[in-house]
Structure 1
Amino acid sequence: MLLELSIRHLAVIEHVELHCKSGFHVLTGETGAGKSIIIDALGLIAGGRSSSDLVRYGSDKASIEASFLVASDHPVWAALSRLGIEGEPDEALIIRREISSQGKSTSRVNGQLVNLAMLKEIGECLVNIHGQHEHQSLFHSEGHIRFLDAFGEPVIGQVKREYQSAFAAYQGIRKQVRELQETSQQALQMADLYKFQVEEIRSVKLKAGEDETLQEERRKLSNAERLYQSAADAYELLYGNGKGLDVIGRAVHKLQDIASYDTSKLQPLAEQVQSAFYQLEDAAYQIRDYRDGIEFNPSRLDFIEQRLDTISSLRRKYGDSVKDIIAYADKIEAELSLIEHKDERLQELQREESIAFERMSRLASDLTLKRMAVAERLAAEIVTELRELHMERTQFKVQVESEGEPKFTVDGADQVEFLISANPGEPLRSLSKIASGGEISRIMLAMKSIFARVDRIPVLVFDEVDTGVSGRAAQAIAERMSRLSRDCQVFSITHLPQVACMADVHYLIRKTTDNDRTFTNIDDLHGAERVHELARMLGGVEVTDKTLEHAGEMINLAEAKKLKMA
C-alpha cells in the first residue's frame, strides 16, 4: 500500500502531504481545484513522462516522494533484485522523482539512481492508474489476447512459454534459410575472392604475437655492434685490472682488518660493502655472458625485415594485428565452407525448419485449447461482476478464433476479442461499438476488478471513471470500489456523492489564492467536515440543512452497508 505521498512545487501545489491508510480513498473538490495533479504525481512516481511545464512557476524544481509497504512475496522485489536495487520487505520502499525547471528528470528508488525505463518497470508493479481515457486499451482488440493470458497465467503460462520458445526457434531457422537463399548468388561471386584471401593468409603461416617478437629481435640485431661494445666496456670497467671491483675488493679487506676494533659500527659496514662486491661481481659475469651471446647475423636481420614487411602488407588488408588477421581467415574460411556446401546446408536447414514448424503448430494448437477454456471462465466472471454493477442482462463473450490459414505471431495463432451485448435482443458486438459512457465505465471497472486480483498491483487509481453514471449504477460502482479495496488500496477522484460516501478516507482538494499566488491544499475530512463536503456535492454551491441531513444519512447508510459487506 501507499503509506505517504509528498509533493512539492508541482503545478499549483506548493507543498502537500498525504498520509494514507488501507481501504477506499476518495478525492473530491470543485472543478479545477487540482485533484488530477495528485493523480499526475502518482503517475510520475510510476514512471510517467515529465515536463518542465509541471514545475510550479518561480521554482527551480518539483519533487514527488512516495513510500510503499509491499508484501515480501510481491513481484516488485524480483524486479528490484533484477535491476540491482537494494531493499528489504520489512522496510518501506521509497521512490523519489525530481523535475527541474529545464525539464530534466532524476529518479531514485531507495536512494539509488534509476533511469526512466527502470522506474517504469518498478512503478508498473506498484501503481495502476485508470482515467476516462486510460481504459481505451480495453477497446483495442489486438490487446485482448494479453488480458486473457494474464488472467489465465496458471493454465496458459507454461504452454505459452514453450510456444514462444518454439516460435523463436522457427523464426531463427527461417531467417537462416532466407539469408542462404537470398545471398547464394552473391556468395558464389565471393567464393573466388575468399579462396584467394585464405590462401594468401594461410601461406604465410602466421602465429599470434609473431610481429611483436620479430620487432624485438630486429631491434637487437640492428644494434648488435652497439650492444656488444657497450656491454664489453661495462664489463671492463667492473672487472679489468685496477677497475671497479678491484678497488671495492681492497676496500672490503681494509674494513675487515679494522672491524674487530669497533664491531658495533664497522662490522655491519664491512658486511654491507662485501655484499655489494658480490652483487657487482655477479652482475659483471652476467654482462660478460650477454656480450658473448650477442649475435651478428645480417642474413637473419634481412629475413626479419622481409617477414615484417609481409605481415605489414596483410595488416593493411585484413586487420590491425596478427591475431585479427588469423581471426579474419578463420571467418572467411567458415563462410567459404558454407558457400561450397550451400545445397547440403540448405537441405539440412529446410528439414530443421519443417520439424520446428510442426512443433510450433502443435504448441499453438495446445495454446488455443487452453485459451478457449480460460476464455469461458473469464467471460463468466465478467458477467458476474457486471450483474453486481446493475448490468444484469448483459452478455459477454471472450472470442478465441484460429480459423483458416494460421498466422503465427509471438502470442500464437489466435485472434482474441471481447464481445458484449448490453441490452436484450442485441447481438454480441465489439467493445469499441459501445456508445454509453456509463456502460463503458462499469465494464472497465468489472474487468479491472478481476485483473487487479491477477496482477497484484497494490495501488489502484480511478480518475473520474464514474463519469456518465448516476442513481443505482453509481451506487453499484461505489460498492464495487469498496469491495475492491479489500484486495488493494483504491483511490478515486469523483464528483458522485454515492461514491464519496462509501470511502474509508476522504480527501478534499481545494484551491486558495494568497498575494496573487494560487495554492492547492488537501484536507483529510472527518465528521462534520465530511458531511458538509458531501452536502456540497449533493446540492451544489448552496448547502442547506436539508442537504446536510441527506449527506449525514448517506454516510450512515454507507457505513452500515460496509459493515454488511464485511
Structure 2
Amino acid sequence: MISKVFIKENLGFKEAKLEISKGLTVFTGLSGAGKSILFKGILSAFALSESEAKVVELELDDELNLEDYGIEGEEENIFKLLKEKNTKYFINNQNIAKKSLQNLSKGFVKYLGAKENNEFSNEKFLKLLDTLEMQNNPKFKEFLDGFKKDFESYTQISSELNQILEEEKRVEELKEIAKMQIEKIESINPKVGEYEELLELKKKLSKKDKLQEAWEKASVIFEFEKAVIDALNLSDKDPTFFSECLNELRLIAENEKMEDFEFDIEGVLDRIEDLSYLIKRYESIENALQTLKQRKKELGHYENLSFEKKELEKKIENIKCTIDQNAIVLSQTRRNNLEKLQNCLNSYLKNLYMEDAILSLDENKAISSTGKDEIILNINFSNLKNLSSGELNRLRLAFVATECKILNQGKGILFLDEIDANLSGKEAMSIAKVLDELSNFYQIFTISHLPQLSSKAHNHFLVEKNGDESFVRKLSQEERIKELARMVSGEKISDEALEFAKTLI
C-alpha cells in the first residue's frame, strides 16, 4: 500500500505531497487541472507510465520480493524516480533498471489504463474453476496435485526418452569414441604419483656422468684413510670420529653409484611422454582415471540402450494413460463449474452495464500441467479486440472482482484511468459499488468526473489550478460535500445539489 507520495516539478505541479490511507483514493477537479498528470506521475515511479516529473517518491509498507532484484527490502520501501538528462529509478536508494522495475511492479500493481489483457490468461480462469470445485469438494485439491505430479513425471521420463532417441541416432559413433578413450587410457595404464617419480628419475639420469666423475675424484680420500688414522694415533687423538665420518661417506658414495643399476632411459622417456599426454588432455592422472571409469559406465549404458528405451516407453505409456484419463475427469469437472464462473463474472458485468460474457471450454489444447483445457471468453459474441478501451477496462475490473470473490483474496494496488468516463450517474454508481467491494482487497487509485464514484472514496483529493500552477489537497468531509455538489450542478452549487451530495456520502 502506498502511504505517502511526493512529486516535484511535474509540469504545473511545483510540488505535491500526499498522505494516503488504504481503500479507494479518488482524484477530482475541473478538466485541465492536472489530474492525469498527477495520476501518471504516481505510476511513473513504478515505470508503468511516462511523466515529466523531476522527482517522484512513493513510500510503500508492503513486503515485496526485492531480493530477486538484488535490493534489500525494508519495513517502508521507497520507490523513487529522478529525471535530469536521463530517467533513473531507485528502490531504497538502490538503482534498478527500468525493465526490472516494470517486471517487479506488475507483480503487485494492476494498471487498467494500460493496453494489456493479462487478467484473462487461461491459467487464471482454470484456477478459478478449480477453486470453485474445491469449495464443494476438498478432495479435489489432492486430485489436482496428483495430476500435476504425474505430469511432472511424464515430462521427466519424456526428456529421458528423447535423450536416448538422440543417442540412438549416433550411438555407434558415441560407442567408438568411448572405446577409443578406454583403450588409450588402459594401454598407458597410469598410476597416481608415477609421473612425478619418473620426472625425478629423469632428472637423476640427466646428471649421471657428472655424478660418477665427481665421486671418482672424491674417492681419492679413502687412500689417505690409514695415514690420517696413524697421524691421529701418534698425536694421542682418538681416530674414531674420522673412521665414522669416512664410513658415512662410503655409504653415500655407494648409494650414488649408478653403474650397478640398469636403466632403460628410452623406456623412461617414452613412459613420461605417455603420461604427459594424459595430463595434457585430462589435466591430471586422477582425472584420466576418473574419465576411464565414466567412459566404461557410458559404454555399458550405450550397450543397454535398447533395454532402457523399452523400459522408458513402457513407463511413458502407463503414465500417459493415467494422465489422459485424469485430464478427461479434470475437463468434465471444470465444465460443471463453467456456468457458475460465468454467472459470477456476469453479475459484475451487469453492475457495470456491460453485455454478458460467454465462457466456453476447448478440450483440444496440448496437454500440460494444468490439463488440456482452454477457456475462451467472448462478449456478446465479439472478440476482446472489438471492445472499446472503456469496455475492456470494465471487463478487466469485473474479472478482478470475480477473482477476489471466488478466491477470497487479493493484494496490491489497482490504478483505474477515468473508469467512469462517459457513463451515466446510474452506471457510475454501479462501478462505485464494485470498487467499494474491491477496496477490501486492493488499494485503488482512480480519476473521477462523477459524484457517484467519488462519494465512495476513502481518500478524496481535489486537484485545482491557479494560473499556470496546479495544486492538490485532501478534502475534509464538508469539503467533499461541496466538491460532489459542484460535480452535480457545476460552479453555481444549488441547495438541491448539496442535499444530493449529502445523500451520496
Give me the TM-score of the superposition, normalised by structure 2: 0.74
Tell me the percent identity. Answer: 24
Aligned pair 1:205/2:189, yes or no?
yes
Question: Which ranges in structure 2 are unaligned for 5 or more consecutive residues?
Answer: 135-139, 219-249
Aligned pair 1:544/2:503, yes or no?
no
Q: Distance between the aligned counterparts of 1:363 and 1:210, measured in 2?
A: 62
Pairing partner for 1:491 from 423, 445, 448: 445
Q: Which residue of 1 aligns with 2:238?
A: none
Cα shift readout 1:169-217 (whole Å, capped 9, x = no counterpart): 3233333433433443433234323312221023223356765676567
Aligned pair 1:93/2:52, yes or no?
no
Pairing partner for 2:472 from 519, 522, 526: 522
* Structure-2 change in CA distance of 1:431 and 1:302 (3 Å): same
Q: Distance between the aligned counterparts of 2:13 and 2:197, measured in 1?
A: 72
Shift of 1:25: 1.2
Q: Which residue of 1 aligns with 2:228?
A: none
Q: Distance between the aligned counterparts of 2:179 and 2:252, measured in 1?
A: 47
Determine helix, strand or coil for the equivalent of 2:283. Answer: coil
Pairing partner for 2:153 from 160, 169, 173: 169
Q: Which residue of 2 aligns with 1:23?
A: 23
Q: Distance between the aligned counterparts of 2:476 and 2:24, measured in 1?
A: 15
Pairing partner for 1:65 from 47, 57, 64: 57
* Structure-2 change in CA distance of 1:530 and 1:165 (3 Å): same
Task: Supply the AA of the counterpart residue of 1:448.
Answer: V
Determine helix, strand or coil for the equivalent of 2:170. Answer: helix
Cα shift readout 1:42-63 (whole Å, capped 9, x = no counterpart): 54554x468xx7464xxxxx55
* Structure-2 change in CA distance of 1:435 and 1:324 (3 Å): same
* Structure-2 change in CA distance of 1:99 and 1:366 (3 Å): farther
Aligned pair 1:471/2:425, yes or no?
yes
Q: Distance between the aligned counterparts of 2:55 and 2:252, measured in 1?
A: 73
Aligned pair 1:147/2:130, yes or no?
no
Task: Supply the AA of the counterpart residue of 2:77.
Answer: I
* Structure-2 change in CA distance of 1:490 and 1:290 (3 Å): farther
Alignment of 1:33-72 (within 5 A): 33-46=33-46, 48=47, 54=51, 56=53, 62-70=54-62
Determine helix, strand or coil for the equivalent of 2:449. Answer: coil
Higher mean C-alpha deviation, range 29-38 or range 494-503: 29-38
Shift of 1:119: 5.1
Q: Distance between the aligned counterparts of 1:416 and 1:477, measured in 2?
A: 26
Q: Which residue of 2 aligns with 1:271?
A: none
Q: Is the 8 A contact 1:11 1:54 kept in 2?
A: no
Task: Supply the AA of the counterpart residue of 1:94.
Answer: N
Q: Is the 8 A contact 1:417 1:430 kept in 2?
A: no
Alignment of 1:549-564 (within 5 A): 549=495, 551-559=497-505
* Structure-2 change in CA distance of 1:298 and 1:17 (3 Å): farther
Question: Which ranges in structure 1 are unaligned for 5 or more consecutive residues?
Answer: 57-61, 71-75, 234-287, 422-428, 560-566
Determine helix, strand or coil for the equivalent of 1:203. Answer: helix
* Structure-2 change in CA distance of 1:26 and 1:419 (3 Å): same
Aligned pair 1:450/2:396, yes or no?
no
Shift of 1:539: 5.6
Q: Distance between the aligned counterparts of 1:34 and 1:227, measured in 2?
A: 99
Q: Is the 8 A contact 2:112 2:416 kept in 1?
A: yes
Q: Which residue of 2 aligns with 1:361?
A: 324
* Structure-2 change in CA distance of 1:210 and 1:11 (3 Å): farther
Q: Is the 8 A contact 1:126 1:459 kept in 2?
A: yes
Q: Which residue of 2 aligns with 1:400?
A: 361
* Structure-2 change in CA distance of 1:343 and 1:458 (3 Å): closer
* Structure-2 change in CA distance of 1:14 and 1:225 (3 Å): farther
Determine helix, strand or coil for the equivalent of 2:420. Answer: coil
Determine helix, strand or coil for the equivalent of 1:413. Answer: coil
Q: Distance between the aligned counterparts of 2:452 and 2:444, measured in 1?
A: 16
Q: Report how many aligned residue pairs link the two structures.
A: 463
* Structure-2 change in CA distance of 1:199 and 1:21 (3 Å): same
Shift of 1:68: 3.0
Aligned pair 1:482/2:436, yes or no?
yes
Q: Is the 8 A contact 2:129 2:334 kept in 1?
A: no
Q: Is the 8 A contact 1:531 1:551 kept in 2?
A: no
Q: Distance between the aligned counterparts of 2:175 and 2:500, measured in 1?
A: 86
Determine helix, strand or coil for the equivalent of 2:474. Answer: strand
